[in-house]
Amino acid sequence: MSNIPVLIVLLPLSAALLCMALSLIHWRLGRDVVIASVAASLVLSVIQLKDVIDHGTVSYVFGKYKIPYGIEFRIDAISAVIIVMILIIGFITLLFSMSFEVRDGGKVKNSGAYTMLALLIVGMVGMTSTGDMFNLYVFLEITSLSGYCLIALGGSRGIVAAFRYMLVGTIAATFYLLGVGILYSQTGTLNMEDMHYMLSRGVSTEAQAVALVFIIAAFGVKMALFPFNGWQPSAYAHANAGSRPLIAGVMGKIPAYAMFRYIFCIYGSEFRFMDEFLLIVGIFSCCGIIYGSVRAMAQTDLRKMLAYSSVAQIGYITLGFATGSPVGIVGGFLHMLAHAFMKSGLFFGTGAIRQKYGSMKMEDLGYIYKKMPLTSGLMVVAALSMVGIPPLGGFFSKWYIGMGAAGSHHLVYLFVLVISSLLNAVYFFKLFEKMFMARDKELPDRIPSEVAQEVPWNMVLAIVVCFLAIILIGVFNVPIVNVLMPTVMEVGS
């Protein structure tokens, strides 16, 4: 049991390495091993979360080398919760992907997609777990490379979107290494906790500020924070349909968490230029919230609308961080958790509609609620949560962010929250109008009724999990905040 932190990463990594070979034995074998490994990691992550809640932060040092020479996994309450989130959505995405398998001659493509999904999960869990700055880069590249491949599997438009993402992603990785190199030259360590010790007891220098500029820019690109979001709408819209919920719902959240660790856990409140950096992040966040909401209003393709709304939603997360208030930071993490299920749920819903009727245009959704009531129910709940309707998760996350903004006297942030919620209501109620009031286009049903009344069981499971998670995060927001708050208070003190 003491090896749980590394086993959570090692199980899906081993399955990813074996998937292609096992698929040569039987085309389903590689897929089943990947799904089983992620399910096992999910169980272990829940055990790990309980252990962290009961006994505090877990430190796992590889090879028993002393810090700062050894590589460390460091799991606190925030990272433990995020790991559970990654693995829940990763597991149901793997099941959801079964409906998008290529049946004839698609053995290599199918096994390749499951391999990349497993590696994407490995990369994100590794980024969340690691306490080493260079190790974070390794897992960041695993996440990015698998993301490029999954986006490229979306077809000709996906290939173009993946190439654009790869170009800017490579620049972002270079920025990250430049920032880490500067910090290493200043401190002589790559361990995050050790570097915080060095920086907090030294003089804040301009070189350290330049390093943080590079690091924020790198993570800004990876999470699609405004104005670094140019690659994101096409990548989210044209990615492989089976993997799109994981890419859109989770992949952008992990760089946001990494940015939090650098700003608050490594640099900390003692850093001389911290207020200026938080102000810059706040400005980017406000601009992204408004920009993403306005662009989403203009879209007719449901995938593009959801992709642009993600720009705004990432802005909410970083806006919570920018308040510098513990309540606002917790609100940012609560929104990270809620939005992962909201956005994944919306893409599960659009994927189910595409699989059944072959359309992603909003004008083709007339009376879809009669033909797909479960899918429509999820999309309505997820959309209302993103608008901020109580008692759903999105309301309480915005509430905490707003309290943090008011408590830290950032009234502009509070104004942006209110305006953006109204803009969210505009484009989501436009979607509701199409779903409930537009004329039925009578599209042909591509899933025979004898197979499923609405969609296959694997799609139903993904839809039900997200539906329940959105509600439960709202209803049980206080216990979640109570788990996260001690860690936030510790790093903010």
Place of tokens 């401190």: 187
- The reported pLDDT for the residue numbered 394 is 87
Q: What is the pTM of this model?
A: 0.91
Half-sphere exposure of 377 (CA within 13 A, CB side): 14
Please give the chain's pLDDT, 493 residues, in tens.
678 999 999 999 999 998 888 888 887 888 889 999 999 999 999 999 999 998 888 888 887 777 777 788 889 999 999 999 999 999 999 998 888 776 655 555 677 888 989 999 999 999 999 988 999 999 999 999 998 988 888 888 888 888 988 999 899 999 999 999 999 888 888 888 888 888 888 777 888 889 999 999 999 999 888 888 888 888 887 888 788 888 888 888 999 999 999 998 888 888 888 888 999 999 999 999 999 888 888 877 778 888 888 888 888 999 999 988 899 999 999 999 999 999 988 888 888 888 877 766 777 777 777 778 888 888 889 889 988 888 888 899 999 998 988 888 888 988 888 898 888 888 888 888 888 877 776 777 666 654 556 778 888 888 899 999 999 999 999 999 999 988 888 875 5
Rounded distance between C-alpha atoms, residue 373 and residue 41, angstroms: 32
Name the residue among 176, 477, 270 with its Cα closest to residue 184. Answer: 176
Q: Which residues contact 303 (CB under 8 A, 6 or more apart)?
A: 236, 237, 238, 244, 347, 350, 360
- The reported pLDDT for the residue numbered 450 is 47
- The reported pLDDT for the residue numbered 42 is 95
Q: Residue 438, exposed/middle/buried by CB under 10 A (0-12, 13-18, 19+)?
A: middle
